[in-house]
Structures are given as C-alpha cells and as structure tokens.
Amino acid sequence: MKPLTLALAKGRILEDTLPLLERIGVRPQQDLTRTRELRIAAEGPVGALLIVRSSDVPTYVEHGAAQLGIAGKDVLREHGSGTLYEPLDLNIARCRLCVAAPVGWQPPQRRRWRIATKYVQQARDYFAERGQQVEIIKLYGSMELAPLVGLADAIVDLVDTGNTLKANGLEPIAEINSISSRLIVNKAAMKLQAVAIREFTAALEAQLAR
C-alpha cells in the first residue's frame, strides 16, 4: 500500500500544523521554511507533503493527488464539495469571516450594496438568507482597498486581529462564520487505506486532547 500524502496550505496553516505533525512523528526531509520544492518527502505516518495554495487543498484531496489535507473551513465552504470527509477540527489558524465597512459607513438606500470578496458563495448565501440582494465583486487579495477607492461599499474577508482593517479605516460590522482548520480525507482513500488514515487521525486527535 502506498504511503499517505498530505496536502497543506502555505502560510499560517502550515506554520500552525508543523509542530502538531512533529509530535505525531511526521518528519519532513527538508526545512519547509527554506525549500522552494512543493512536494517534500517525509518519514513517519505520512510519506510526502504537498505545499499548495489554501484554495487548492480540497481539489488535490478530492481528485486523489493527496489522500489527506488540512484546510480552513472558509476554503471548504467555498469549495462546496460533498466528496470529502471532514473527520477532525484541528482548532488551529482560528479567525472569523466578517463583513467589514469603512468606520461610520452608512449603507446605500437606493441601490444594491457592492461587496468585494473572494468568498463569493459564502457572501452570497449570507446576504440571501437576510433577503438582501447585493452585487458581488470577486477579488483575490488586498480586499481592504476596494472601499477606499470606491470599487465596493463593503468587503467580506477573514479577520484575525483586525489590525489590517483598522489601518485602512475599516471595521467589522457583522460576523458570518467562525473559522478553524480541518483535516479532510479523500473518500476513496478512506476505503482503500482505512487503517493508516484512522491511525493518523487518532494520533492527531490524541495530541489535540492534551
């Protein structure tokens, strides 16, 4: 049986996950903070790590390029696939998905709000649940700039400390979801490599319980 492959998101999730993986015996054969390689051999319960964009983690796992992945719940909700198992909340890389607007902002009364976000589906669902029609403007980064230059009235984005919002004259006006990172599993792999995946999941869960 081939060894397990784990897809990890770059950035904060990777930083928060590495100490947890180390404690269950996953030992990358390169320094992940220095290497430019994206497929890293490892020793222990996982044979390789794939270092990819956070939005791509569910895709790699869904299509079987990796049997396991760790991704934020924001990404998983946006991916919207029912083809993945989500057995464990790792409770790391916590933040909030919020609506944010300029401080003192008054909503327009005679037109739709313009909302800039990369979380298109979650933003649309949030406002639809409230019976509010909005115009969604999809951006991939620097969301805080959109209200400053008149591209959008407000944004939907992840908020951690809120310092970036504050620095750009914005403030959260509503929280959509609380976000944390989850272990995800390919459904076919769960049948073919059930023992290895269950052991890996149980080891993570035991560490989280400490």
| CATH number of the CATH domain containing 168 | 3.40.190.10
Give me the mean pLDDT over the 103-114 stretch: 89
In this predicted model, what pLDDT tens digit does every residue of 43-86 receive, in sequence order?
A: 999 999 999 999 999 999 999 999 999 999 999 999 986 789 99
133 and 194 part of one domain: no
- What pTM, to 2 d.p., does this model score? 0.88
Q: Alpha-carbon distance 17 to 35, whole Å?
A: 17
In this predicted model, what pLDDT tens digit does every residue of 13-39 receive, in sequence order?
A: 999 999 999 999 999 999 887 888 899
10 and 45 part of one domain: yes
Backbone angles phi, psi at 127, to 5 degrees: -75, -35
192 and 164 part of one domain: no
Which of 168, 125, 109, 173 has the alpha carbon at shortest distance from 144? 168
127 and 165 part of one domain: yes
Which residues are CB-contacts of 61 (< 8 A; sequence separation ≥ 6)? 7, 67, 68, 69, 84, 184, 185, 186
In this predicted model, what pLDDT tens digit does every residue of 152-186 receive, in sequence order?
A: 999 999 999 999 999 999 999 999 999 999 999 99
10 and 89 part of one domain: yes
Please give the residue range of the domain that contains residue 110: 95-178
74 and 102 part of one domain: no
- Give the count of domains, the chain: 2
Indicate the pLDDT class of residue 1, thresholds 50, 70 and 90: low
Q: Strand 39-43 to strand 95-102: parallel, antiparallel, or no bridges (unpaired)?
A: unpaired
173 and 194 part of one domain: no
